[in-house]
Chain A
């Protein structure tokens, strides 16, 4: 597609429920990244996929968070047993190999846990 597409754009969920966030990267981009942005704060790295290599999961805050990506296509970020502290905007970005100026962000999914 023309840009990175994320869905849903907004999600309100009850504490304790599981949520799944989706990211459609730009076609041909081999790398995909997930970041979390709490209100009024900077971007917190979560996970990075590069082609078929093992993902870099070093930023995932707890075992309630997981992400999958098949090949160079769609990625899903799953948060199990959501907590209020999980409320944030979850941003996805993709890039061709080498990152840099090709690192394009989606508009994010705003998650609110009530």
Chain B
């Protein structure tokens, strides 16, 4: 099956600092992207999404940036809190109108007190 990622990269940030998590997506035909947060023992949870006709979208304490030229996606978390500690995945739809998402490697975010 389709699979990405081996060992999860880890980002450690101090509580209160901003976090930036990066993702390189694979398919230039993808037009919809989602960031998910996965806490230990739970399924992934939707954080924020963005369509390819946008390059930035903001939510509550989170911002997603999309650079289609280099097929790069980033998630910025402002004023990182201990509850933000989790694994973060980006996902892409691979083609317009498809709802089968391909997930990125995942990044583990550790918030240091």
Contacts and interface: CB of A to CB of B under 8 A. Distances in A.
Given A42-B104, A91-B43, A59 B2 contact: yes
B32 A40 contact: no
Interface in A9-61: 31, 33, 35-36, 40-46, 48, 50, 56, 58-61
Given A100-B32, A101-B34, A46 B1 contact: yes
Interface stretch (B4-12, B14-22, B65-73, B75-83): B4-12
Contact of A107 (B1, B6, B42): B42
Given A40-B8, A100-B34, A108-B43, A45 B99 contact: no
Contacts of B53: none
Contacts of B5: 41-42
B3 interface: yes
A67 interface: no
B43 A107 contact: yes
Interface string A77-114: 00000000000000101010011110111111000000
B3 A106 contact: no
B41 A107 contact: yes
B103 interface: yes
Contacts of A44: 1-3, 103
Contacts of A46: 1
A95 B46 contact: no
A59 B98 CA distance: 15
A40 B7 contact: yes
Interface residues of B, number: 29
Contacts of B89: 42-43
A106 B32 CA distance: 22
Nearest to B106: A42
Nearest to B46: A101
A103 B99 CA distance: 9
B106 A101 contact: no
* Most chain A beta-carbon neighbours within 10 Å: one of B5, B6, B104: B5
A103 B7 CA distance: 25
B59 to A, nearest CB: 11
